[in-house]
Amino acid sequence: MWETAEGQPIAVTGLHSACFVEKVPERRAASAEWKENMRIGSVEIVSLIDGEVEGSAEAMYPTAPAGTWERNKMHLNRLSGKLLMSVGAYLLRFPNRLALIDCGNGPNPKPPFRGGALRSSIASQGVDPEEISDVIFTHLHFDHIGWATHEGKPSFPNATFHCNQLEWEYNMREDYEPQEFEIRSANPQDLAHVRLAPIRDRFRTWSGTDTGLPGMTTIPAPGHSVGSCAIILESEGERCAFLGDVAHSIPALIDGLRFPINENSDQAMESLYSIRSFLAQEGIPCSASHFPGLCWGKVVRNGSEYRWAPIG
Ligand SMILES: [Zn+2]
């Protein structure tokens, strides 16, 4: 029994139902497909958190139409009222191997990014870094490759690393000049041509849509970066999509909002529109690398409008 300082019993049940039980599930209630972890065929998928970054929704999407954030307030953080973007990775448990998609921000991200917890998140799953056989990158921006190496050594010593050939060529060239957003948001050692240099010979690149890994194909999604991809996992007739940075938030995916940090902004919007339409048409679960908690859902089309149906 909980008591006040005066020894009066606290009505825990009433407090609980008033403060938590009625409010939290209202978002859950939108989905009849509650799942602890995502499972696609024989592959279990676990979202792993490395860190986060948070900012004003209006500042992150300066061209969003009036009313966007009132309509999407359920996607803003309830404590801060801001847009919370997680940073992390997906652990894929195949029947005979373990893989990661993306690998977070790294140990010492530059503010406003926070984190560096991916090693602990992996450990919480009972996995040793030595057990990871493959790391597949949606693209090579600093907040997706952070734990590929640590202090000049591979973080996953037995892994083969995979990315799009165009993305590799662009980011790993000797004369790479950091872009303005990279200078602002990343440390020099976080950029691909530095971070990935110790594991250059462990990379396999793909061209087109076949990653070369069983059950894993891509939808090219250029614009945010030259070789950005959405990755499609297929197992036992089921599919899901890892969207990388096709959209940096759920409202951006659903409402088609323009993110200001893109290599080619119009191309990024074309990629977003085309993948959003694909997801709605196929009805397959999707998650993106900066959705809060790297959560899952489906894109549902209703006439010319789209909505997000959460899973879990
Ligand atoms: Zn990113």
Centroid of ligand 1 to alpha carbon of 268 (angstroms): 13
CA–centroid distance, 289 to ligand 1, in Å, is: 7
Residue 84 and residue 98: Cα distance in Å, rounded? 28
In whole angstroms, what is the distance from residue 89 CA to residue 293 CA? 10
* 224 Cα: distance to centroid of ligand 1 (angstroms): 9
Distance 8 CA to ligand 1 centre (A): 50
Largest CA distance in the chain: 70
CA of 226 to the centre of ligand 1 (A): 14
The CA 250 to ligand 1 mean position distance, Å, reads 14
Torsion 148-151-156-159 (CA) sign? positive
The structure tokens 């990653």 sit at: 211
Residue 4 pLDDT level (bands cut at 50, 70, 90): very low
Q: How much distance in Å is there from the Cα of 295 to the middle of ligand 1?
A: 15
- The pTM of the full predicted model, rounded to 2 decimals, is 0.89
Q: Length of the chain, please?
A: 312
- Distance of CA 35 from the midpoint of ligand 1 (Å): 25
According to DSSP, the β-strands at 160-164 and 38-40 are unpaired
Whole-number Å distance, alpha carbon 13 to ligand 1 midpoint, is: 41
pLDDT digits (tens, 9 = 90+) for 105-157: 999 999 999 989 999 999 999 999 999 999 999 999 999 999 999 999 999 99
Ligand 1 centre distance from Cα of residue 85 (Å): 9
Structural domains of the chain, ranges and CATH numbers in brackets? 33-311 (3.60.15.10)
**What digits encode the pLDDT tens for the residues 201-237?**
999 999 999 999 999 999 999 999 999 999 999 999 9
Kindly tell me if the per-residue pLDDT of 5 is higher than 90.
Answer: no
Q: How far is the centre of ligand 1, averaged over its atoms, from the C-alpha of 3 (Å)?
A: 46
